[in-house]
A = this chain, B = another copy of it.
Amino acid sequence: MSTQQNRGDAIYASLRQAIIEQALKPGVKLPEDQIGEAFGVSRTSVRGALIRLSAESLVEMRPNRGAAVATPTLEEACDVFDMRRTLEREVVLRLCRNLSTRAIDALETHLGEQERALMAGGPRSIRLTGEFHILLAELTGSATLAQFVNQIVSRCSLILAHYGRPHSGECGCEEHARLVAALRERDAEAATRIMEHHLGAVQSRARLDGGENDPDVTEILSRYVRAAS
């Protein structure tokens, strides 16, 4: 899923990372020409990457009108966060049932990286805190679960970029540390509680209460549009 064999893969990975790190903000247009030129490839390869990103709901492709970084609606955002809760609860339960010491080592190594990145600041930190959750999912040994979590966490990044306060990444990673501690003890009850609380905190960084986030005129107006009458 990472190494670049085709040019399309490389572009896919780069664009994806840029979106997740919130360098490409929701709504930004992604003209094939321009991207192709930036990467030094033709539109053909770019198109392949965009198709894949749109399959993940990270970009929207409207026919004849080009691609843009997706702008999730409020409803979508809530749905995605709900789904994330569901999936990550499952991750924690599976990990408590079955977690090697090697896995715990991997988690703690990653915790260290997160802290260092947090010190240093920058987009790397945003990405790493997300990747922690993906690592958790991978450690369940279920490729499918890991893939779904990967997708959902990426979309959460996007949502935070859209609705979150400026530069709001996921979290200070202190709760991550507590989660790892609970997992080490195989304490499913505590682990799910921490995860639940943690995701609640992440979600609360988004202003999903319908408050005045962005003057997204078209979206607001679309609610008042009726069939031509």
Contacts and interface: CB of A to CB of B under 8 A. Distances in A.
Contacts of A47: 48
Nearest to A144: B83
Interface string A1-19: 0000110100000000000
A132 interface: no
A44 to B, nearest CB: 8
A80 B144 contact: yes
Interface string A116-146: 0000000000000000000000000011110
Given A63-B6, A148-B148, A79 B48 contact: no
B79 A90 contact: no
Interface string A27-55: 00000000000000000100110011001
A83 B142 contact: yes
Contacts of A79: 142-145
Contact of A51 (B5, B51, B144): B51
A82 interface: yes
13 contacts: A44-B44, A47-B48, A51-B52, A55-B55, A55-B56, A76-B143, A79-B142, A79-B143, A79-B144, A79-B145, A80-B144, A83-B144, A148-B148
Given A5-B63, A44-B44, A83-B148, 9 more contacts: A8-B51, A51-B52, A76-B143, A79-B144, A79-B145, A82-B142, A83-B144, A83-B145, A86-B90
Closest A-B pairs by Cβ, 6 of them: A83-B144, A55-B55, A5-B63, A51-B51, A79-B142, A79-B144
